[in-house]
Amino acid sequence: MAVKTLQEYYESLKELHPTTYILGEKVESPHEHPLIKHMVAGVAKTYDLAHDSEGKKYLVADSELIGEEVSRFVKFYRSRDDLIAKVRMLKFLTQRIGTCVMRCTGMDAINSVGVEAYNCDKKYGTTYYERLLDFVKLVQENDLVVFSGVTDVKGDRSLRPSEQKDPDMYLHVVDRNDDGIVVRGAKVHQTGSLCAHWGLIVPTREMREPDKDYATCFAVPVDAEGVIHVYGRGTLEARALGDCDLGNVAYGKFAPMVIFNDVFVPWERVFLCGEYEFAGPMVRNFGNYHRHSHGGCKCGVGDVLIGAAAAAAEYNGLSRVSHINSKLAEMIKTVEAIYGCSIAASVEAVSTESGIYMVDPVLSNTSKLYEGKELQEAIRLMIEIAGGMVADLPSDKDIEDPEIGPLLRKYLKGAEHVSVEDRVRLFRLIEKLAFESRDIVSNIHGAGSPETHRMTVLRNADIDAKKKLAKNLAGIKER
Ligand SMILES: Cc1cc2nc3c(=O)[nH]c(=O)nc-3n(C[C@H](O)[C@H](O)[C@H](O)COP(=O)(O)OP(=O)(O)OC[C@H]3O[C@@H](n4cnc5c(N)ncnc54)[C@H](O)[C@@H]3O)c2cc1C
């Protein structure tokens, strides 16, 4: 049963009891909460599609580790084809879900940790890579969801972890014994932590010798003692509580804060502990992989933006208008550039010593830079095409009201062939695509802030070689 069904995924969640706070309440069954169930439904859809004849081609892969078919979400990237397949899978899924699928952070973390656990073992004779393989076997055999905890709360950004006034601003080891370690700290914006079974925790930045207690990486069940999930609010969510005016009626994204209140982690789940020089590469690998994942998932959402804009034009009676077609072409250009750079980053990938393939960092970060800036322009164009109705549609409850409803239906009519209900649904979706804080902000800050992407591009782009090209052509001799 290496690839679970939708039903088996829902059953597996019943065995979990994560400590959860949502809007001031301690919640016993978070997976059924009205603010969480749409998010769980998105992840459940990934299980469902793995058993669909078309979806299987994208979502199921052979595992060299357990010799069975497994979900691509829990597989090591053993080739360029694996990396290309990941981007295509994410595009396929987000075209159908229209928002985050919340399983790719774990997939990217497994691989980024794998590369550095292997390197660390080589340098120090540790056994982190073997432990990671055991963990990944468990994840593959049970087709589990893993969230990845990278981002610490970080306190004063100008200070290093060991310089902070409160030592818990970055997650760190506070105790250790023969059985394992005890960790304290908090990871913020943890996409899908409550849809997951395990968390894979990765350092958030490079570390130096005084920071070595902060250089730790480990796996922990989402309901381990001391792990606390606190729901983070997003735009438009109050509507989910009333179950109306939803926009994307089935799926959503969320990213709680996860607090580690003296959590015990047995040694067999610890993949880095004190070897500080591997913290930076681990998080940089994660960033490169994860920006590459965004190239797949955000272009799938981009296709939904384009489709929504074109449908809005049709519903407004403007199917064949040249300025609208030209704007649609601009949107397509951006979305395909994001996708194309991620595919190219896979094609140019190279094998690391562990046998895990690493994407081309310049191309994967270029894809993410396009997403951070140009996707916003595509969203603006979607709104420009759709019109002001995106901002302030009357509520579903008013439209259904026997008194005011008939008048609203009369005045909300667009093109003759389109029902008012469908027009309202489409505008709600556009509103959600344009203004849902977690989607919009993750275009910019998800997988790291844009400055990090620029720095990675510069660090890897070999500007000196490019200067040499220009000087050669200009006939300038190097002194
Ligand atoms: C919706 C969403 C989902 C996310 N999902 C996940 C997830 O699943 N897992 C996860 O681990 N993380 C996740 N993230 C976190 C994301 O990676 C971070 O938001 C991102 O790395 C930026 O970190 P920050 O928010 O702490 O901002 P900051 O680091 O505070 O950055 C804010 C600004 O300050 C600048 N800055 C920061 N420090 C310095 C400095 N020392 N010198 C100069 N400039 C500086 C940055 O460049 C940026 O412009 C998610 C974020 C969002 C919005």
Say if residue 208 is in the same domain as residue 158: yes
Question: Which residue CA neighbors atom 20 of ligand 1 most closely?
Answer: 448
Q: Structure tokens of 413?
A: 């009519």
Does a structural domain hold residue 1?
no
The token pair at 178 is 């023969």
At which residue do the structure tokens 């200070």 appear?
Answer: 159
- Going by alpha carbons, the residue nearest to atom 44 of ligand 1 is 157
Structurally, the chain folds into a number of domains equal to 2
Q: Is residue 475 part of a domain?
A: no
The DSSP bridge partners found for residue 148 are 200
Helices (H), 316-419: 322-347, 361-386, 396-400, 405-411
Write down the pLDDT at residue 1: 62
Q: Do 62 and 202 belong to one domain?
A: yes
Q: 76 with 22, same domain?
A: yes
| Ligand 1 shell residues, CB under 6 Å | 105, 148-151, 154, 157-158, 187, 189-191, 255, 438, 441-442, 445-449, 451
pTM score: 0.96
Domain membership flag for residue 473 = no
Whether 121 and 33 map to the same domain: the answer is yes
Q: pLDDT for 441-454, tens place per residue?
A: 999 999 999 999 99
Residue at which a domain ends, from 272, 296, 325? 272
Ligand 1 pocket test: pick from 191, 206, 445, 454 the residue with the most ligand atoms within 8 Å of its Cβ: 445
- Domain extent, residue 361, equals 282-462
154, 189, 291: residue to mutate for ligand 1 pocket, most atoms within 8 A of CB: 189
Q: What number of other Cβ atoms are within 10 A of residue 123's Cβ? A: 10
Cα 16 to averaged position of ligand 1 atoms, centre (Å): 29
Question: Is 163 part of any domain?
Answer: yes
CA of 351 to the centre of ligand 1 (A): 29
Note whether 356 and 243 are same-domain residues. Answer: no
Length of the chain: 479
Last residue of a domain, one of 272, 301, 328: 272
147 alpha carbon, distance to own chain's centre: 9
The domain that holds 211 is classified in CATH as 2.40.110.10
Distance (Å, rounded) from C-alpha 442 to C-alpha 419? 34
Q: Are residues 265 and 296 in the same domain?
A: no
Q: How far is the CA of 472 from the centre of ligand 1 (A)?
A: 41
> Which residues touch 363 (CB under 8 Å, ≥6 apart)?
341, 342, 344, 345, 348
Q: Which residues of the chain have pLDDT under 70?
A: 1
Q: Residue 393 C-alpha to ligand 1 middle, in angstroms? A: 33
Same domain, 294 and 223: no
How many CB atoms neighbour CB 440 within 10 A? 17
Q: What is the DSSP letter of 2?
A: -
CATH number at residue 434: 1.20.140.10
- Residue 126 shares a structural domain with residue 254: yes
21 sits in which H/E element: strand 19-22
Q: Which amino acid residue places its CA nearest to atom 7 of ligand 1?
A: 190
* Token pair belonging to 432: 């959600």
CA of 44 to the centre of ligand 1 (A): 28
Atom of ligand 1 nearest to the CA of 192: 8
Instruction: Write down the pLDDT at residue 455.
Output: 96
Same domain for 49 and 197: yes
Choosing from 251, 272, 293, the residue where a domain stops is 272
226 shares a domain with 107: yes
From 450, 45, 73, select the one nearest 253 (Cα to Cα): 45
- Asked if residue 469 belongs to a domain, the reply is no
CA 108 to ligand 1 centroid distance, Å: 17
Residues 87 and 213 in one domain: yes
The answer on 290 and 364 residing in a single domain is: yes
In a domain, 477, yes or no: no
The CA 471 to ligand 1 mean position distance, Å, reads: 38
Distance of alpha carbon 21 from its chain centroid, rounded? 22
Domain assignment present for 471: no
3-state secondary structure at position 295: helix
The phi and psi torsions of 264 (rounded to 5 degrees) equal: -85, 135
Return the C-alpha torsion angle 198, 203, 209, 213, nearest 10: -40
Residue 435 counted as domain residue: yes
